[in-house]
Amino acid sequence: MVGGGWAGLAAAVRASQLGFRVRLLEAAPQLGGRARRVVHQGLALDNGQHILIGAYRQTLDLLHSLGLDEAHAFHRTPLNLQSLDGAGLRLPDLPSPWHLLAGVAMAKGWSWRDKLALVRQSLAWQRAGFACAPLASVAQVCTLLTPRVMQDLIEPLCVSALNIDSTEASAEVFLRVLSDALFAGAGSSDLLLPRHDLGQLLPDAAERWLLAQGADIVTHHLVSTLPSDTPVLLACPAWQAAELTHRLAPAWSAQASALAHTAIATVYLHTPEPLIWPSPMLALPTGPGAVAQFAFDKGRLSGQAQWRGVLAMVVSHCSLNRDDTTQAALWQAHAQLGLKQLTHLTTVVEKRATFACTPGLVRPGTVVAEGVWACGDYVAGPYPATLEGAVRSGIQAAESMAGQHMGENTA
């Protein structure tokens, strides 16, 4: 198995459950891929602030099977996209669809025209079964919505889920995520904010579990050629998988290498001022000079003194260089959050954080060639580049491999 990110770890766990002896090779010094621990001056930060939602059933089931306690690992709260002044949408803890209707009715800063527009648009999406033309963008399926609803709801959801603006993002994928999140039953739209670094979620737990099952895990190991005498599961990034398969499966390799990618930056700041926020996560108004979409109070999430005053400012679909991104986030913390005393800790930029989920995008499939499978959030599936997409892909790839090689005992 090549790659120890969330897809690779999910695949390794599932393959082990299905009876395979797993050997996992990871090029980096640690597991986790693009959702990993980054240590800075003794603080275990993350390479990006990943959020789960209640609809991410397979990820939550996997974490539970590895022994993680959800209440300890996450701060669970109903969907809240409000800014510091309370403007925006916050859903109450009610069954679907009453939570959405009540949240819309109580949305601060929205006129009745804004609220009725969202209700009408939601009903139209429901009547269409949350389906649309494959080449439609998110903006094109939001024609009934007002600019305020687009700014406070659609744009934040779109950029957080697909890491791309609504004018460029696939409406087909966005509507699927929206349907699963807002209309799939109790708790589906809840936000699950990690209380600890990402390494303490899947990477550490999966590594302990796999080692207990006798798996062989090797880090600092860059794979340059694929073996021909054993089934192989590629769980490495799309560009690396494309390089490894360009002779074995040129058509699959071409699809993987053709994927465009977008960046996410996380600017970590510290303030000695008290953070009196209504929620540990705030939506931030964006516009000229304001590039961060969300801010996280790491001290409130962790509940630990060493994290008090640490903020994470998240810039999805980041197009600026590191210094300009840092300065823009500092300005937002001053101007929008009212913080005067700020120290910059570090800025982490994941340059190829996600594939660009554009309309009509053709993604490579799970089966690469005879004896070779692939998984990752970029592989064809119902979700964009999310943790749930990665986990689902890993599980699917392991089960596909098992379907053909159940009689073998090495993966």
Computed from CA positions of residues 227, 232, 237, 243, in that sequence, does the dihedral angle turn out positive or negative? positive
Which two structure tokens, joined as six digits, stand for 90? Answer: 């916050």
Which segments of the chain belong to CATH 3.90.660.20?
261-355
3-state secondary structure of 77: strand
In a 10 Å sphere around its CB, with 0-12 CB exposed, 13-18 middle and 19+ buried, how is residue 77 labelled? middle
Tokens 């009453």 label which residue? 98
Computed from CA positions of residues 253, 175, 395, 50, in that sequence, does the dihedral angle turn out positive or negative? positive
Alpha-carbon separation of residue 406 from 226, 231, 250 (angstroms) = 21, 11, 27
Which segments of the chain belong to CATH 1.10.3110?
79-189
Tokens 């789960």 label which residue? 52
> What per-residue confidence (pLDDT) applies to 182?
83
Q: Distance between CA atoms of 372 and 252, rounded to whole angstroms?
A: 11
- 79-189 is a CATH 2.60.120 domain: no
Phi, psi at 5, each rounded to 5°: -80, -165
Which segments of the chain belong to CATH 3.50.50.60?
6-37+50-60+200-259+362-405
Q: Distance between CA atoms of 332 and 26, rounded to whole angstroms?
A: 37
> What per-residue confidence (pLDDT) applies to 288?
83
> What per-residue confidence (pLDDT) applies to 95?
85
Instruction: Report cis status (omega within 30 of 0) of the bond before 280.
Output: no
Q: In b/e form, how buried is each residue of 26-37, taking b as 16+ CB within 10 angstroms?
A: bbeebbbbbbbb
First to last CA, the chain: 7
Q: What is the CATH number of domain 6-37+50-60+200-259+362-405?
A: 3.50.50.60
Task: Output the pTM of the full model.
Answer: 0.94
- 261-355 is a CATH 3.90.660.20 domain: yes
CB contact set of 131 (below 8 Å; sequence gap of 6+): 172, 175
> What per-residue confidence (pLDDT) applies to 406?
56
Q: Distance between CA atoms of 126 and 100, rounded to whole angstroms?
A: 13
Computed from CA positions of residues 180, 193, 376, 240, in that sequence, does the dihedral angle turn out positive or negative? positive
From first to last of its 411 residues, the chain has per-residue pLDDT tens of 999 999 999 999 999 999 999 999 999 999 999 999 988 888 889 988 888 999 999 999 999 999 999 999 999 999 999 999 999 999 998 888 889 899 999 999 999 999 999 999 999 999 999 999 999 999 999 999 999 999 999 998 899 899 999 999 999 999 999 998 888 777 899 999 999 999 999 999 999 999 999 999 999 999 999 988 889 999 999 999 999 999 999 999 999 999 999 999 999 999 999 999 999 999 998 888 899 999 999 999 999 999 999 999 999 999 999 999 999 999 999 999 999 999 999 999 999 999 999 999 999 999 999 999 999 999 999 999 999 999 999 999 999 999 876 545 444
The H-assigned helical ranges of 140-201 are 147-149, 155-162, 171-182
> What per-residue confidence (pLDDT) applies to 411?
46
